[in-house]
A and B are shown apart, each in its own frame.
Chain A
Amino acid sequence: MTSHKSTREVLLTCIDDIEIIAKELLDNLIAQKQQKPVSAEHSQLVELVLQKDTELKATLKLAEEQGVLQQKVVALETEVERHDIEIRNLQKQLKEAEQLLATAIFQAKQKLQAIDKANSRPVNSEELIKFAHRISASNAVCAPLNWQQGDLRRPYPTDIEMRLGFLGRLGEMNVNGHMSFPELLHRPNHSMQQGSSVPNSQAGTYSWLSQNDLQMPGLSVSHLGVGGGMDHKTPKKENEDVDVMSTDSSSSSSSDSQ
């Protein structure tokens, strides 16, 4: 197939050939005037010219047909281009749609996860409000608005508050009343005046526990075994701690504003 010349080359070579033959003819004609005529060559040349002429005409016709085909090809190519553009557009739109859908699905899944999470651990809104009130009313999580440097209130229980609490009192009774801890457990109402249950009797003394909530509804008893060995040791330790803490240099011991 490489031996096929393009139509343009064929045409051009044809024209060149005709040019050469025409030159020969003319040379011959000119030479004829001066020398003897070489008519055999002459007629051959003329035949050659005619032959080349027909070749040329055929090639021209071929070129015309090829031209028409070329136009068709160009038209088809533009069609193809147009279709290509449309396909690319569609592709782009599909991709955008896919992205949007993927984001939507992702967000929906997240919402579902959040819903599941919320449903798995439901909290009574009233309890939430109670808890929020408890931790903020006493300035435990947010400083009071008029707090200045040197104000003794702190975001944690100070040593005075600790001493005034149940643990501190437990320690005092242990040291002063010479009661052992087991006795204390069985006789919690010794120092308290009111009621039969310990929580109610502690009503005004410390701000640790909110009085209404000490019924311990449905607390699990599973901590009994684990905490067992520690109970006797640690309260006694706290007693020592609470007494000795007054020597702690980093906390002041002046009167508590609360």
Chain B
Amino acid sequence: MSTRGVETDEQQRIRFQVELEFVQCFANPNYLHFLAQRGYFKDPAFVNYIKYLQYWKEPAYAKYLKYPMCLHFLDLLQYEHFRKEIVNGQCARFIDDQQILHWQHYTRKRVKLLQSQAEKHMMTIQNEPTPQKSV
């Protein structure tokens, strides 16, 4: 590797992009499982890198994130227990399922709201003709 000097602007920019993408990859539990299976989480250098990546939690950096839930996984990864657990395929699948269900939470809520609104509307429409008939 080259000698560690001051990074040029260009290098900094590239490093920013690289780390931005990499930290957001953590939002994918399958990727985490993949990394765990290949033993990356046992490498102390990698563990230090994950610790270093926590700077993405600061607002100045976090505003560039498209998948903010990666920060939650970043936090979880700081714990050795989680790093050990995610080697298990069942664990990864469970997290994936829960993530997708949570992802659908707002959609489900909105659908329910719309349905109840539609039902109310139907009822008011049905109730309208009857007073006229009685007259």
* B79 within 8 A of partner (CB): no
**B-binding segment of A68-76, A100-108, A110-118, A151-159:** A151-159
Of B66, B69, B105, the residue contacting A208 (CB under 8 A) is: B66
Q: Are A130 and B103 in contact (CB under 8 A)?
A: no
Known: A142-B103, A216-B16, A230-B48. Is A207-B27 also a contact (CB below 8 A)?
A: no
* Residues in chain A near residue B29, CB distance under 8 A: 156
Chain B 52-72, CB within 8 Å of chain A: the 1/0 string? 100100011101111111100
Bound Cα distance from A154 to B69, whole angstroms = 12
Q: Are B18 and A241 in contact (CB under 8 A)?
A: no
Residue of B nearest to A167 (CB): B21
Known: A142-B103, A143-B107. Is A250-B30 also a contact (CB below 8 A)?
A: yes
* Residues in chain B near residue A198, CB distance under 8 A: 10, 13-14, 17
Q: Are B63 and A233 in contact (CB under 8 A)?
A: no
Known: A198-B14, A199-B13, A223-B55. Is A156-B67 also a contact (CB below 8 A)?
A: yes
Bound Cα distance from A155 to B6, whole angstroms = 37
Q: Are B33 and A140 in contact (CB under 8 A)?
A: no
* A13 within 8 A of partner (CB): no
Known: A230-B49, A248-B30. Is A167-B67 also a contact (CB below 8 A)?
A: no
Q: Are B52 and A140 in contact (CB under 8 A)?
A: no
* Residues in chain B near residue A226, CB distance under 8 A: 52
* A232 within 8 A of partner (CB): yes
Question: What is the CB-to-nearest-CB distance from B33 to chain A, in angstroms, rounded to a whole number?
Answer: 7
Bound Cα distance from A35 to B49, whole angstroms = 137
List 26 interface pairs A-B (beta carbons < 8 Å), by A numbering: A121-B59, A131-B63, A140-B68, A141-B103, A145-B111, A155-B99, A156-B70, A166-B18, A166-B21, A167-B22, A182-B1, A182-B2, A184-B14, A188-B10, A197-B13, A198-B14, A198-B17, A209-B20, A213-B63, A219-B16, A219-B61, A220-B60, A226-B52, A227-B49, A229-B4, A230-B49
Spell out A's residues near B (CB within 8 Å): 121, 123, 127, 130-131, 134-135, 138, 140-145, 147, 154-159, 162, 165-167, 170, 182, 184-186, 188, 197-199, 202, 207-210, 213-214, 216, 218-221, 223-224, 226-235, 237-238, 241, 245, 248, 250-251
The 4 closest A-B pairs by CB, nearest first: A156-B27, A156-B28, A155-B103, A143-B104
Spell out B's residues near A (CB within 8 Å): 1-2, 4, 6-8, 10-22, 24-25, 27-31, 33-35, 38, 40, 45-46, 48-49, 52, 55, 59-61, 63-70, 89, 92-93, 96, 99-100, 102-107, 110-111
